Chains A and B, each alone.
Chain A
Amino acid sequence: MPQGAAAVLRHELIGLAGVFERNVYLVRRYLWWDVAFFVWTIANTLTIVFIGEGIEATGGDIDVERITTQLLVGAVVWAYLGVIFEILTETVAWERWEGTIEYTFMAPLSRPIHLFGMGLFAIVYGVIRAVLLFGVVALFFDLNLGQADYLAALVVLLVASISFLGIGMMTAVLPLISPEKGTQLGFMAQGILLVISGVYYPVSILPEWMQWASTISPATYALDGLRDSILDGDGLGSMGDELWPLVLIGAVSIPIGLWVFRIGEQYAKRHGKLKRSG
C-alpha cells in the first residue's frame, strides 16, 4: 500500500474509533436512562410474548412454546432494529440537539467512516441488548431452548445488520432535511420493514403485494434464520437460503445508503440546514 494511502487509512481508522469512543462515553454518562429504557423494552416485549399463553387460555389450540418462542424472536428483532435505527438517526439528530453537528461535519473524517463508526457501535450495543433482552424475557416462560444454535443465530443477526445499516443510513439523513420530523420518519421505515417481514406471523398470511415486498426486506431473512436456528437448531450449513439474500441485500443497501446520505448532506449544505438550529 502506498505511504499516502496508508496514512489516510490510519487516519480514518482512528476516526472510526473516535466515533465508537464517543458513543461509549455517552452510554456511560446516560447509563441510568439506558437501564430505564431497557426495563421499558422488557415490559413491551413481555406484552407481546404473553400473547401465546393468552391464546391458549382463551381456548386456542396451539403449540404455546413454539408460538411464544416465535413471538420472542420477533420482539427481540424489533427491539434490535429499533436500536440500530435510533443510533444511526442520532448521527444527525442528537448532534443537532447538542449543537455539535457543525464540528463533527467539518472534521476531516470521511462520511462513510463516520457512518460506519456509528453503525459498528449500533451493532455492538444492539447485540448486547438483544442477547440480554432475549435472556431476561425467556426467564418468564418455560421454554425448552436446548436445541437452539445460538452461534448460527448470532451470525444471521450480524449479516442482517449490514443491510439494516444501509437502510439506517438512508433514514439517518432525514433529520438533516427535516429537523423537526425527520426522526419520526426513521421509525416509520422501521415499522414498515417489520410489518412486511413477518415479525409476529408468517409472511404467507400477508396480501400478495406485501409478500412480494417481503422478499426484498432483509428482516424477512433475518427473522426466518433466527427462528430456524433457535426453534429447530438449524446450523450455519443449512442457512444458505437466508444468508445469501442477506449478503446480497447488504451489498446493495450499503452503497445506496451512503449515496442517499451524501445527497441529503449536499442538500443540507446547499440550503443551510447543516447547523444547530436547523
Chain B
Amino acid sequence: MTRSNHHSSMPAVVVDGLRKEFFRNDGRAGLRRRRKRVAALEGVSFEMHRGETLAILGQNGSGKSTLVRLLSTLLLDDGGSAHVFGHDVAAETRAVRRLINRVSVEASFFKKMSAVENLSYAARFYGMPIRETRERIPEILGRVGFPRKRMGEPLEDMSRGMQQKVALARALLTAPILLLLDEPTTGLDPRSKLEVQRFIREIRQIHDATILLCTHDLVEAEELADRVGILDRGRLIELAPAAELRAKYDAVTLEDAFFAATGKAFEDEPEEEDD
C-alpha cells in the first residue's frame, strides 16, 4: 500500500484538547527567582481533512507558533493530544516527521552555504540519496523561480524573498503530505508575497498536500484557506469558512470579523508574547 493510499481515509490532523504552558520569570522573592505559569494553548481542538488548507489567525503570542511546533514534534504538550494521519505527535515522532515539513517566518538556513548545499544535506535527512537529488534540487529551485545562475551563491547574499523561495523548495523537496506554514509571507515585498502565495496554491493542487497556514495576513487567509480559525490567547474561539465567519459577525471583511470575535483589532499587541 502506498503512503498516499494508506493515509487517504483518515483525517490529516486531529487535535484534541491540546494544552501547553510555559514558565516565565516574574521578578524575585528574596534570592529566589519567581516563575509564573503562562498558558500558550488551552484545550485547542480541531480536525483537518486531507487536502484541506486551514488558516489560523491570531495576534503575536496567541499560540499559533506553539501549535505549529507541537505538530512539528518540537514541543511536548501538557495535556490533550495531536495526531497526524493517525500518528501521535508525542509518541510516534519518527512517523510524524516523515509526513510533515514546515516553512516559517525565518527562512532558517546555513547562510554561508548555497541553496543547493542547504537543500542537499536537508534531503539526506529525509533519506534521499545523491542520485535522487542531483537533478531534483535544480528542478525544484527552478519551479519556485530561483535563478539557476545563483544556485551556488551563499544565501546570505540573497533577499528575504529569495530565501523564502528556497525554504518552500526545501519543504517541497521532501514531498510532505502535511505542510505547516508559519507566517511564510511576513516581511516579504508584495511581489515576493504573491509568488510565494502562488506556489502555496500549486503545492496544494499538484501535490495534494494538507496545509496548516498561520498568518497575520487576513487577505491571504481568505484567499488560500478553506476554513479559518481564530486563536485568541491560546483558545481556538472560531473555526469556519471565511464567508461564514463574516456572516456570523455581520462583518464586511475578515478583519472586522476578527475584531468582533476577539474584541480587539488584529494589529493590537498583547501584553505578553508566549510563542
**Which residues of A approach B to under 8 Å, CB–CB?**
10-11, 14-15, 17-19, 21-22, 25-26, 29-30, 98-100, 102-110, 266, 269-272, 274-276
Contact = CB atoms under 8 A, between A and B. Distances in A.
Given A11-B127, A269-B75, A272-B75, A25 B69 contact: no
Nearest to A30: B112
A275 B121 contact: no
Contacts, number: 98
Given A14-B124, A18-B120, 19 more contacts: A15-B127, A18-B122, A21-B124, A29-B112, A29-B154, A98-B111, A99-B109, A102-B102, A102-B104, A103-B108, A103-B122, A103-B170, A104-B125, A106-B72, A109-B125, A110-B94, A269-B74, A269-B76, A275-B74
Contacts of A29: 110, 112-113, 154
Given A98-B110, A271-B23, A106 B126 contact: no
A14 B127 contact: yes
Contact of A25 (B106, B117, B170, B275): B117
B55 interface: no
Highest count of chain A CB atoms <10 Å: which of B66, B76, B94, B121: B121
A124 B252 CA distance: 64
Interface size classification for chain B: 35 or more
Interface in B10-61: 22-23
B123 interface: yes
Given A26-B110, A26-B112, A105 B126 contact: no
B98 interface: yes
A100 B73 contact: no
A274 B121 contact: no
B108 A102 contact: yes
B274 to A, nearest CB: 9
Given A99-B108, A272-B75, A106 B113 contact: no
A21 B128 contact: no
A242 B129 CA distance: 39
B76 A266 contact: yes
Contacts of A266: 76
B225 interface: no
Contact of B100 (A18, A105, A106): A106
A107 B125 contact: yes
Nearest first, the 5 A-B pairs at minimum CB distance are A18-B124, A11-B127, A107-B125, A22-B121, A108-B97
Contacts of A105: 74
A25 B108 contact: no
Highest count of chain B CB atoms <10 Å: which of A14, A21, A270, A271: A14
Contacts of B94: 108, 110
A104 B120 CA distance: 13
Contacts of A19: 121, 124-125
B125 A15 contact: yes
A214 to B, nearest CB: 37
Nearest to A100: B108
A21 B125 contact: no
6 contacts: A14-B127, A25-B117, A98-B111, A99-B109, A102-B102, A102-B108
A99 B154 CA distance: 16
A98 B110 CA distance: 6
Nearest to B167: A103
Contacts of A17: 124
Contact of A102 (B22, B72, B125, B154): B72
